[in-house]
Copies of this chain bind each other. A is one copy, B any other.
Amino acid sequence: MDVDLNKIPKHLLKEEDPIFAFNKAIIDATHHLCVAYKPNTAFYEAYGIKGWKALEKTIKYLNKNHPEIFTIADAKRGDIGNTSTMYATAFFEDLAFDSVTVAPYMGKDSVEPFLSFEDKHTIMLALTSNQGAFDFQTILVDGKELYKQVLETSKSWKNSKNLMYVVGATKAEYFADIRSIIPDSFLLVPGVGAQGGNLQDVCKYGMTDAVGLLINSSRGIIYASNKEDFAQTAALKAEELQREMAQILSDQS
């Protein structure tokens, strides 16, 4: 749910809160096809107070009407201990998200404050879907790529049972290696759709007995149409992806 006012249908701009109006329409049209929603906080912060209010309304709407749906604040936060606690409070308590994405660069004490929240999940960047992933994440650290070191090290952190990881779908050839380090962890997989990741490959190399994959498609679904029928078109796109997934799951069993 990366809402950009330049991309949403023009008729929504007349609404009092165009961002929430867009999200509500998308949720209403797609909730039966989705196990999770992931607003990226950048898109809300870019609109200041107005954006933050729309984010708050969106998460409240989700928690009230679809409490069974997993919610992810895609915020990529991380700071020294006492500060990370404030971020965790913001997303887990004030906004009541089920999970939040975090960055690993500042290490253990920047992530453990998130992990200490019971019944919440912390999703740490491991190998991201963008080109810049090759700048640092894949360089060799003691003969091993940095992202592997991130996976290894974080396994020993306190409450690491609450830890999930971001692994981009555009890096499908890396999934086998990743599964050798974290065989059971749940992975959030962005990059299917607009960014070009391949669902078949991701499932082939990344799936566990309990599936263990949360596949994300953002722009490919929400911006499939910018006309009056945008929500129905988004639902069709979501259904297409959901069917592809169902097919893969039935082929496996």
Q: Nearest 10 A-B pairs (CB), nearest first?
A: A107-B132, A107-B135, A42-B86, A45-B90, A46-B86, A109-B132, A80-B130, A46-B90, A46-B89, A42-B87
Within the assembled complex, what's the spacing in Å between the Cα atoms of A253 and B89?
47
**Interface residue from B56, B74, B77, B87 paired with A49 (Cβ < 8 Å):** B56
25 A-B residue pairings within 8 Å (CB atoms): A40-B83, A42-B86, A42-B87, A42-B90, A43-B86, A46-B89, A46-B90, A48-B52, A52-B52, A76-B77, A76-B78, A76-B79, A80-B130, A80-B132, A81-B130, A103-B105, A104-B135, A104-B136, A105-B105, A105-B125, A106-B133, A107-B133, A107-B135, A109-B130, A109-B132
Q: Determine if A107 and B130 form an interchain contact, defined as CB atoms under 8 angstroms apart.
A: yes
Q: Give the residues in chain B near A12, CB-CB below 8 Å.
A: none
Q: How far is the CB of A249 from chain B (nearest CB, A)?
A: 28
Q: Which residues of A contact B (CB under 8 A)?
A: 2, 4, 40, 42-43, 45-49, 52-53, 56, 74, 76-81, 83-84, 86-87, 89-90, 94-95, 103-111, 125, 128-137, 139-142, 146, 149-150, 153
Q: How far is the CB of A80 from chain B (nearest CB, A)?
A: 4
Indicate how many identical chains form the complex.
Answer: 2
